[in-house]
A and B are shown apart, each in its own frame.
Chain A
Amino acid sequence: MNVNQSVPPVPPFGQPQPIYPGYHQSSYGGQSGSTAPAIPYGAYNGPVPGYQQTPPQGMSRAPPSSGAPPASTAQAPCGQAAYGQFGQGDVQNGPSSTVQMQRLPGSQPFGSPLAPVGNQPPVLQPYGPPPTSAQVATQLSGMQISGAVAPAPPSSGLGFGPPTSLASASGSFPNSGLYGSYPQGQAPPLSQAQGHPGIQTPQRSAPSQASSFTPPASGGPRLPSMTGPLLPGQSFGGPSVSQPNHVSSPPQALPPGTQMTGPLGPLPPMHSPQQPGYQPQQNGSFGPARGPQSNYGGPYPAAPTFGSQPGPPQPLPPKRLDPDAIPSPVIEDDRNNRGTEPFVTGVRGQVPPLVTTNFLVKDQGNASPRYIRCTSYNIPCTSDMAKQAQVPLAAVIKPLARLPPEEASPYVVDHGESGPLRCNRCKAYMCPFMQFIEGGRRFQCCFCSCINDVPPQYFQHLDHTGKRVDAYDRPELSLGSYEFLATVDYCKNNKFPSPPAFIFMIDVSYNAIRTGLVRLLCEELKSLLDFLPREGGAEESAIRVGFVTYNKVLHFYNVKSSLAQPQMMVVSDVADMFVPLLDGFLVNVNESRAVITSLLDQIPEMFADTRETETVFVPVIQAGMEALKAAECAGKLFLFHTSLPIAEAPGKLKNRDDRKLINTDKEKTLFQPQTGAYQTLAKECVAQGCCVDLFLFPNQYVDVATLSVVPQLTGGSVYKYASFQVENDQERFLSDLRRDVQKVVGFDAVMRVRTSTGIRAVDFFGAFYMSNTTDVELAGLDGDKTVTVEFKHDDRLNEESGALLQCALLYTSCAGQRRLRIHNLALNCCTQLADLYRNCETDTLINYMAKFAYRGVLNSPVKAVRDTLITQCAQILACYRKNCASPSSAGQLILPECMKLLPVYLNCVLKSDVLQPGAEVTTDDRAYVRQLVTSMDVTETNVFFYPRLLPLTKSPVESTTEPPAVRASEERLSNGDIYLLENGLNLFLWVGASVQQGVVQSLFSVSSFSQITSGLSVLPVLDNPLSKKVRGLIDSLRAQRSRYMKLTVVKQEDKMEMLFKHFLVEDKSLSGGASYVDFLCHMHKEIRQLLS
C-alpha cells in the first residue's frame, strides 16, 4: 500500500505523460490528470494496439520492426484486439475486458502493457505517450514498475531506436506476437501476463496497482514474444533483447494516482475497484494479491516514503500490490518458444535461451551457452559506460559441461609435434576469429592484433571472402569449442602424465561405524569400482585405486594383486604424514579384484568394536596427496568423514560455533577457516593435481567452513549428510557417490581466459586456486563445476570488432591424456546503454552477484554485503531508468525487460541462508551452501534461489510434460492440490489438507490425509497412473540435478511445513526476509533516492 499510496502522489502518471511534460506537471499538481491521462492514453492506445496487432499478424519479427511503426498507427485497435485475445486466453477475459472497459482509457494503457512488451515501445516511442502509458500503468502502483517495456521503448525509442531497429525492433514485434500467443498458450501465469495489459488499464483506471502490475505480466508475455523471434532463429537474439529491455513492475503508489485518477476516475475508488477489476484479469490472483499488498505496506515502512507522496499513501495503504502484477519468475514463454529449434551460435552477441528452457545448441563458431553464459551479450564500449550502468560484466564458464546426447562433444584436434597453433605474442589459440591475411601466409591475432606467420604445414589458400578454404574441415577454424592434443611441452616436468588415481579414504571412527556408514560404503565400493570413468571406448578404466582408513591414525592398505591377503599399514605419526608404501597401494581394479574385495569385506569387521571417537583430517588429505606424488600422477581423493577433527594433529580444530556472532562484525569468522593449515595443504594438493571430494556425515558441528577449504581450492565437491542414518539417507548418499565416482573429471588443470584488447578478466569465482592473477589452477575439474569470471575495461572497445573471449583449459583426461579445451565467444559492444540493458541475462547476473556476495561474507559483515547488493541493484536499475526509460514520474518503477526479475531474484539471494540465516540454519549449513554456490552454474543458481513449485493434479494425468510451475508463494498453494518443490538440493511433496481422497489413495496407499506419514521420504510404488506420473516426475527432476534430492513429504498444517515454507521465497520469511512485494517497494525507494 505504501507503495500504492505513494503512488498517488506519483506523478508516475506523469510517466505516461512524460511524453507530455505538461502532463506531468499537471499530474503533479493534482488530479487534473484525468484529462491529461486521457491524452496519454490515446497515445498509448495508438502504440499499443499497434503492437498487439503485430503480434497477431505475425508473427514474425521481421514484422515487428516494421510492424512497430504500423503499430503505432494501429495502436488503439491493436490494443483492443490484444485484449480480446488475452481475455480469451484467460478466464479472466471477462474481467479483464471489463477492466479494459473501465479503463478504456486504460485500454490504451494496455497499449502500455504492450509497451511492456516493450521493445515495441521504443519503436513506439515516437508514440512517446504509449510508453508512458505503460509506465503509467505501473505508476498505478505508485512504485509502478512500469514494465520497462513501455517506458523503455520510449526512452530507448530515442536511444533505442537504433537498437530496436536492429534486434529489438524485431523483438518488440515478437513480443506483441507473444502476447497473442500467451493468452492462448499459457494458463494462469500467462493470463496474468495478459492481465498485465489489463492492469495497465487499471493503471489508468486504478492507475495504482494494476497498471504497474500489468507490466510484469506483460513481461511474461514478452518472453513468449521472444520466443517468437527465436523461432525465426536469428531473430531470437533480437527478440530476447527487446524483451529484456523493460519489464515494468507494478507496484507503486500512484501519486499520480491523482493524476491518473483523472483519467482513471477517482483515484481512491479506482484503487479498490480497480483491484477487483484486476483480479479477474489476473486470474483471480488479485485476491491474494491484496494480501501481499498489505504485507507490502507493513514490511517496508519505507513504502510510504517511496511515494514521498504522503498524502496518497494513506489512501493507498489499504491497497497492496497485486502479486500477479509484479514480474513473475515463472517463465514459460521462453521455454515454449525457444526450446523448439536449436540455438545456433553463429551470430555474435546473441542472447541464448533461458536456462530453464530446454534447447539444443548448434555450434557455428561460438561456444555453446552450456559452456559460457554472460551477464550481457552486448557490452559497453567504454569503462565509463560500464561504471555508469553498474552491470557486472561477467561470464559463467563451465569448461567441461556435459552435453545432451544430441550434441556432439568437442572435436579433438591434433596439430602434431609442434603442438597447437598459437599467437606468438598473447599465446591465444587458433580459433575461428583469427584473420588470415596475405593469401593465407599469415594470420592476425584477434586478441592482440599481432601478425603471425602460418607454419608451412598449416598453410591453406583463402577463398574470395578471405576465408581459408579448409575452414570447415578444421574445428579450430569453424567451431566455438574444440580440443587440442597437448604436446609434452604442456606437461608437468616435460613428461606425459600417468593415468590418474582415485583414493578412497574412509573414516572408521566410532561414529562412522555406528551409523553403518562404513559397511554401506565398503559394500557399495565393491561394485562401484567397475564404473570408474573411462575414456571413449576404452574397455577398462585407466584409473588406479587405493584405500585408506583412518581415525586418529591412518591405515594404508597394500592390495597388490600378488598378495594372498591385503596388508594394512598403520601410520600413527600424523604430525608428519608420509605414505608408507608405494608398490601395491594404487592398483588396477581388475588385477587386484580379489584382494580388494577381501579388504572391503574386512574393513567393517576390523573396526566393528572400535571405541575411537577422535579423528584427524589434514593428515588424511596429506597422505593422499603424498601418495599421488609418490606415484607421480594426478588424482582424486574421496574422503568420507564424520566428525570435527579434534585429535592431536596438524589441522586440529576446536568447536568455535557461536550463534551469538550472527549479525555482528565477527560473523565473517564463521565462514573463515580456523587455521591456515588447510590453505597450505590445499596449495600443495593443487601443485600435485590432487582433487579432494569430501563426503561429510556430521552429527554435530564439524566446521564445514574449515573442512571445505581443501575441496574448494582443489576443484572438489563437498557433500553433507547431517545425522546420517543408513535407512533414511542411503539412497541419497549412494546416488551422490555413484555419480561422483563415475563422472568424468579433468585433472591437474589450468584455465586461462584471454580477451581481446579493451577488456580483461580481473576476478574469478569458483572452486579453484590461483597463484597468480591470470591462471585458474584446478587440481580437478568435473562437468558440474563452473568458474565465474568478471571482466573490466582497460581500454575502449570497438563496436565493429566486438569483444572476444577465449577460455583455454589445459587438463589431463581420465585416461591420462593431456589436452587443451578451447571455448571461444564473441560479444557485441555498444555505445548506447539501452543496448546493454537489452542484452542482459538476469540469471547469469544473479549467479555472479550471489557468488560475489558469498565471497564477500568472508571479509565483510553480512549486513554490508547485503547493502552492497541492494545498492548495486538499485544503481543498475536507476541507471536504466535514467538513461533508457522514457521520462516518467519518479513514482514509477521501471525495469528493463531483461532485468525485470532482478529484484525478485536478488531478494532470494538476500534472504538465502548465508546472508540471512533463520534460527534453524546451522553455521555448518551456511558454510556448506556458501561453498556450494561458489561453483554452481546458472541453471543451478536459478533454481537454488528461486525454487520450482509444480502443481501435480492441475494438469491431466495423461499429460507427459512437466506441469507448468507456479510462483513460490503460499498464496499459490491450493489446499486441494499436491505440489512438488525443488531447488536442486531439496525436494518436497506438499499435500494440501483437502486433497481428494482418491488422490491420497493413489499416491500414498492410505485412505485419508491424516494417515499420510509426515516426513515420508519415499513414495510407495503403486500401479496407477497418478503414482507413476508423480514418481516419474520425481525421477526426472532428480535426473536434472547434479545431486540427488531427497524427498520429504510435507502435509499442510503439519509442523514440518515450516521447513517447506522456507522455500516459498516470494513470501516473507520467518528470519525476517522480505516478501517479494515488499522488496520491490524497497528497491523502488532506493532507485528513487538515487534518481533524486
Chain B
Amino acid sequence: MATYLEFIQQNEERDGVRFSWNVWPSSRLEATRMVVPLACLLTPLKERPDLPPVQYEPVLCSRPTCKAVLNPLCQVDYRAKLWACNFCFQRNQFPPAYGGISEVNQPAELMPQFSTIEYVIQRGAQSPLIFLYVVDTCLEEDDLQALKESLQMSLSLLPPDALVGLITFGRMVQVHELSCEGISKSYVFRGTKDLTAKQIQDMLGLTKPAMPMQQARPAQPQEHPFASSRFLQPVHKIDMNLTDLLGELQRDPWPVTQGKRPLRSTGVALSIAVGLLEGTFPNTGARIMLFTGGPPTQGPGMVVGDELKIPIRSWHDIEKDNARFMKKATKHYEMLANRTAANGHCIDIYACALDQTGLLEMKCCANLTGGYMVMGDSFNTSLFKQTFQRIFTKDFNGDFRMAFGATLDVKTSRELKIAGAIGPCVSLNVKGPCVSENELGVGGTSQWKICGLDPTSTLGIYFEVVNQFMFHLRRSPFLQVFNNSPDESSYYRHHFARQDLTQSLIMIQPILYSYSFHGPPEPVLLDSSSILADRILLMDTFFQIVIYLGETIAQWRKAGYQDMPEYENFKHLLQAPLDDAQEILQARFPMPRYINTEHGGSQARFLLSKVNPSQTHNNLYAWGQETGAPILTDDVSLQVFMDHLKKLAVSSAC
C-alpha cells in the first residue's frame, strides 16, 4: 500500500470495484458541483483464486426491507451474540449456528480481508446447463463447413450433462429433434411469421398433447427427467447423433436468384429459440448461441430486404430516418431480449460476414442478457474459431468461466442513493428507500438481473475520465460513427459496456508500444509522431492488435537480415512484438483481430486511424520536422482539442 494509487488498484484487484471518486463529497452541495458522476465499476465475478468459497448461507439482516448480508463492517456484540446492520441499524440476533462466535472465533464474513466473499448455496436441484445452437445455413460452402466443424468441436468442450439443442435457419427455421434413430426429424417453421411462445410450444408438441404420447411409453419419462423436450438432450447421449446431424447440415436449399440476398429468418429463429427455452427450462442457465452470416432479410426482425441493390442501412440512412426496417426490427429483438432476460437465459451473437449483419438491431439481445457478441469477417477465420473456443475455457478450478441467472442487489447506507447501472443487465424493478429518482443507465431499482456473466463482466457507472481520454473517447468508435457501420458501433459499444476499467481504457485510448534498437520496448504516445522508420510499433485497441514495422525495419526484413546469423538481434527485435501480441491474443475475449503490417501496407490504416494526428497534410510543413508520419485527416489534433477545451473551461467559469 505504497501509494494511494496502488491502494486503489489493490482494491480493484480484491473486490473488483473501482470508483470514479475515491474521496466522496460530504454534502449534497458538493456533490452537485461534481461534473463527473460518482460511480464505480463493479466486476462481480472477478476471479479470486485466493478466495475460498463459503459452504453455507449468508446471514441476513432481519428487517424485511433491508436483508443486508452480514459483513466485516458490521458492528458485532460478541457477548450478546448480536450484530447491527450497518445499512439500517437493525440489531440482529445471530442464528444458532453462530453460537460459538467470539472475537477470536469469527466467521469468514466478519474478517476484514473478506470484503468480498462467495457463498455456495446448497439449496435447490442442480440443473444442467443448456446450449442451444441457432445456426444460419445461408452461408458460403466453406464458411458453413468451418462453422460445422467449430460446432462439432464444441460438443467435446461442453460438460457431458449439458443439454444441447440445434436450430437451423435460412428461408425456413428448423428445430431439430435429437436422438432419432433411422430418420432425422425436425420441426419446420415459416421464416416470415412471428409466433407467440404459446404457439411455438404448441407446434413443437411441448404442451399437453405431447404428454399422452409420452404416457404411451411410461418407461421413458422417469429415466429421463428432461424428456419433455425432445429438442434438448444431454450431450453425452447424443453427441454422435448431433455430430452426424451437423455433418449432414446443408446450405439452405432454396434458390437465390441473381441480385438477391438469401432469405434469412434470423428474427423467427431467435424467437423460436427463446420460445422453446421459455417453455421448457425457464430460470435455468441457458445460452442461445446465434451464428449468423448475414443480415435478417425476412419476417419479423428483418433488417434489410432481399434486393441486393438496396444496401443495408448506414449511419447516413439512420440520420435521415431512411432505415425503414430498423425500428421494427429493433423492437422485435428488444422484445425477445426482454423475454429472454425474464427467463434468465442469455443470447450470444456470433456474426461473421463481410457486410453488416444487423447487430445494431440485435444488439440488445446480447446487451440485456449478458450474452457475447462476436463480430468477424468469416467463420473460417481464427478470430471466430478461437473466440468461440475460448467461450468454453475453464478456470483454475476446472469450472466454466460462465455464470448464469445472477441477481445484483446493491444496498446503500441512508446518505446514498442508487441512480442506475450500465452493463449487461436488466432491471428487476425493486424500489426501495435507497433508489434515487434520478435515473442513470438502468435505474429506478436496486436490483438487476444479469442472465449471463463471466469473470470479466463489469457493470459500471461511468468511469474516471481525464482530458486525454476524453479526446480519444471522442475519436473512439463509441462516439465516432464515421467510417463505422452501425453494426460495428453496436459491437464496440457492447464490449465497452461490460469491460473493466483497464480494458475500457484500452478501448478508448489504445496502447502503443515501441520496439527498437534504442532500448527496451516502451510505451509511446499515441501520436503520429511516434511512427518512425526504425521502430516496430505494437498497438492494442482491444479489438485489434496491430504490429507495424517502420519503413526501415520493413526494408531490412525484406532484405532478409533476420535470417542472417550475424543479425540475430534483428531477428529478436522482430520476434519481440509478436510474442507480446500473442500473449494478449491468448487472454483477450473476444479474440482481437490480429494485424501484422508494415509501413505503406494497406492494413497500416488501422494504426494511422488511431494515432493523434499531430502531423497531418495540413500542418506537415508548418511543423517542419522530419520525424513521424503525416496522417491524412481533417480531424483535429490533441493540441487543438486541448486549446479548445481550455477556452471552454475558462469561458464556462465566467
A residues near B (Cβ < 8 Å) are 552-553, 556, 563-573, 576, 578, 580-584, 598-599, 602, 606, 609-612
| Cβ–Cβ contact B216 & A609, under 8 A | yes
Contacts of A567 in B (CB 8 A): 183-186
Instruction: Tell me if B204 counts as interface (CB < 8 A to partner A).
Output: yes
Q: In this complex, what residue of B is CB-closest to A584?
A: B253
Give complex CA distance A570, B185 in Å: 7
| Cβ–Cβ contact A583 & B190, under 8 A | no
| Cβ–Cβ contact A568 & B203, under 8 A | no
Task: Please provide the chain B residues from 242 to 294 with a CB less than 8 Å away from any CB of chain A in the complex.
Answer: 248, 253-255
Contacts of B248 in A (CB 8 A): 563-564
Instruction: Tell me if B644 counts as interface (CB < 8 A to partner A).
Output: no
By the criterion of a CB under 8 Å from any partner CB, how many residues of chain B are at the interface? 29
| Cβ–Cβ contact A580 & B213, under 8 A | no
| Cβ–Cβ contact A572 & B212, under 8 A | no
Task: Please provide the chain B residues from 163 to 220 with a CB less than 8 Å away from any CB of chain A in the complex.
Answer: 172, 174, 177, 180, 182-190, 193, 195, 202-205, 209, 212-213, 215-217
- Among the listed A553, A566, A612, which residue makes an inter-chain contact with B203, where contact means beta carbons less than 8 Å apart? A553
| Cβ–Cβ contact A569 & B186, under 8 A | yes
| Cβ–Cβ contact B217 & A572, under 8 A | no
- Among the listed A565, A602, A609, which residue makes an inter-chain contact with B217, where contact means beta carbons less than 8 Å apart? A609
Can you report 27 residue pairs joining A to B where beta carbons are below 8 Å apart? A553-B203, A553-B205, A564-B248, A565-B184, A568-B183, A569-B188, A571-B189, A572-B187, A572-B202, A572-B203, A572-B204, A572-B205, A573-B189, A573-B203, A576-B190, A581-B172, A581-B188, A581-B253, A584-B253, A602-B182, A606-B183, A609-B216, A610-B216, A611-B212, A611-B215, A611-B216, A612-B213
**What are the interface flags for B211-249 relative to A under an 8 Å C-beta threshold, 1 for contact and 0 otherwise?**
011011100000000000000000000000000000010
Give complex CA distance A583, B183 in Å: 17
- With contact pairs A570-B188, A573-B189 given, residues A582 and B216 touching in the complex (Cβ less than 8 Å): no
Give complex CA distance A552, B203 in Å: 10
Give min CB distance, A648 to chain B, whole Å. 9
Q: In this complex, what residue of B is CB-closest to A595?
A: B183
Contacts of A602 in B (CB 8 A): 182-183
Name 17 extra pairs, CB < 8 A, besides A566-B183, A598-B182: A563-B248, A564-B248, A567-B185, A568-B180, A568-B186, A569-B185, A571-B189, A572-B203, A576-B193, A582-B255, A583-B253, A598-B183, A609-B217, A610-B213, A611-B212, A611-B213, A612-B213
Contacts of A611 in B (CB 8 A): 212-213, 215-216
Give complex CA distance A566, B180 in Å: 11
Give complex CA distance A576, B253 in Å: 21
Give min CB distance, B144 to chain A, whole Å. 15
Give min CB distance, A624 to chain B, whole Å. 16
Q: In this complex, what residue of A is CB-closest to B190?
A: A578
- With contact pairs A569-B174, A572-B205, A573-B203 given, residues A556 and B216 touching in the complex (Cβ less than 8 Å): no
- With contact pairs A611-B213, A612-B209 given, residues A565 and B203 touching in the complex (Cβ less than 8 Å): no
Give complex CA distance A553, B202 in Å: 11
Contacts of B182 in A (CB 8 A): 565, 598, 602
Give complex CA distance A580, B212 in Å: 27
Give complex CA distance A950, B298 in Å: 68
Give complex CA distance A563, B254 in Å: 18
Give complex CA distance A598, B181 in Å: 12
Give min CB distance, B364 to chain A, whole Å. 27
Q: In this complex, what residue of B is CB-closest to A601?
A: B182
Give complex CA distance A564, B204 in Å: 25
Give complex CA distance A565, B244 in Å: 11
Contacts of B190 in A (CB 8 A): 573, 576, 578
B residues near A (Cβ < 8 Å) are 172, 174, 177, 180, 182-190, 193, 195, 202-205, 209, 212-213, 215-217, 248, 253-255
| Cβ–Cβ contact B188 & A571, under 8 A | yes
Contacts of A581 in B (CB 8 A): 172, 188, 253
Give min CB distance, B201 to chain A, whole Å. 10
Give min CB distance, A630 to chain B, whole Å. 9
Give 9 closest A-B pairs by Cβ, nearest first: A572-B203, A580-B188, A583-B253, A568-B185, A570-B187, A609-B216, A569-B188, A611-B212, A567-B184
Give complex CA distance A576, B172 in Å: 13
Contacts of B209 in A (CB 8 A): 552, 612
Give complex CA distance A619, B645 in Å: 69
Query: Which has the most chain A C-beta neighbours within 10 Å: B177, B180, B190, B254?
Result: B190
| Cβ–Cβ contact A580 & B174, under 8 A | yes
Give min CB distance, A555 to chain B, whole Å. 8
Give complex CA distance A582, B202 in Å: 25
Give min CB distance, A563 to chain B, whole Å. 8
Contacts of A571 in B (CB 8 A): 187-189
Give min CB distance, A200 to chain B, whole Å. 76
Contacts of B189 in A (CB 8 A): 571-573
Give min CB distance, B221 to chain A, whole Å. 14
Give min CB distance, B173 to chain A, whole Å. 9
| Cβ–Cβ contact B183 & A556, under 8 A | no
Give complex CA distance A611, B195 in Å: 26
Give complex CA distance A606, B213 in Å: 12
Contacts of B187 in A (CB 8 A): 569-572
Give min CB distance, A546 to chain B, whole Å. 14
Give min CB distance, B448 to chain A, whole Å. 37
- Among the listed A552, A570, A576, A606, which residue makes an inter-chain contact with B186, where contact means beta carbons less than 8 Å apart? A570
Q: In this complex, what residue of A is CB-closest to B203?
A: A572
- With contact pairs A576-B190, A576-B193, A581-B253 given, residues A568 and B184 touching in the complex (Cβ less than 8 Å): yes
Give min CB distance, A557 to chain B, whole Å. 8
Give min CB distance, B170 to chain A, whole Å. 11
Give complex CA distance A612, B211 in Å: 11
Give min CB distance, A309 to chain B, whole Å. 74
Give complex CA distance A568, B285 in Å: 30
Give complex CA distance A305, B93 in Å: 114
Q: In this complex, what residue of A is CB-closest to B245?
A: A567
Give complex CA distance A619, B188 in Å: 14
Give complex CA distance A521, B183 in Å: 19
Q: In this complex, what residue of A is CB-closest to B172?
A: A580
Contacts of A570 in B (CB 8 A): 177, 185-188
Give complex CA distance A582, B180 in Å: 22
Q: In this complex, what residue of A is CB-closest to B204?
A: A572
Give complex CA distance A569, B190 in Å: 12
Contacts of B180 in A (CB 8 A): 568
Contacts of B184 in A (CB 8 A): 565-568
Give min CB distance, A543 to chain B, whole Å. 21
Give min CB distance, B108 to chain A, whole Å. 53
Give complex CA distance A573, B173 in Å: 12
Q: In this complex, what residue of A is CB-closest to B254?
A: A582
Contacts of B255 in A (CB 8 A): 582
Give min CB distance, B141 to chain A, whole Å. 15
Give min CB distance, B61 to chain A, whole Å. 51
Give complex CA distance A569, B172 in Å: 11
Contacts of B183 in A (CB 8 A): 565-568, 598-599, 602, 606
Give complex CA distance A563, B248 in Å: 9
Give complex CA distance A566, B202 in Å: 25
Query: Which has the most chain B C-beta neighbours within 10 Å: A573, A599, A612?
Result: A573
Give min CB distance, A566 to chain B, whole Å. 5
Give complex CA distance A741, B150 in Å: 47
Contacts of B217 in A (CB 8 A): 609
Contacts of A565 in B (CB 8 A): 182-184
Give min CB distance, B299 to chain A, whole Å. 12
Contacts of A599 in B (CB 8 A): 183
Give complex CA distance A612, B183 in Å: 20
Give complex CA distance A854, B40 in Å: 86
Give complex CA distance A578, B193 in Å: 11
Q: In this complex, what residue of B is CB-closest to A583?
A: B253
Give min CB distance, A715 to chain B, whole Å. 30
Q: In this complex, what residue of B is CB-closest to A574?
A: B203
Give complex CA distance A610, B177 in Å: 17
Give complex CA distance A563, B195 in Å: 31
Query: Which has the most chain B C-beta neighbours within 10 Å: A563, A598, A611?
Result: A611
Give complex CA distance A568, B188 in Å: 10
Give min CB distance, A958 to chain B, whole Å. 58
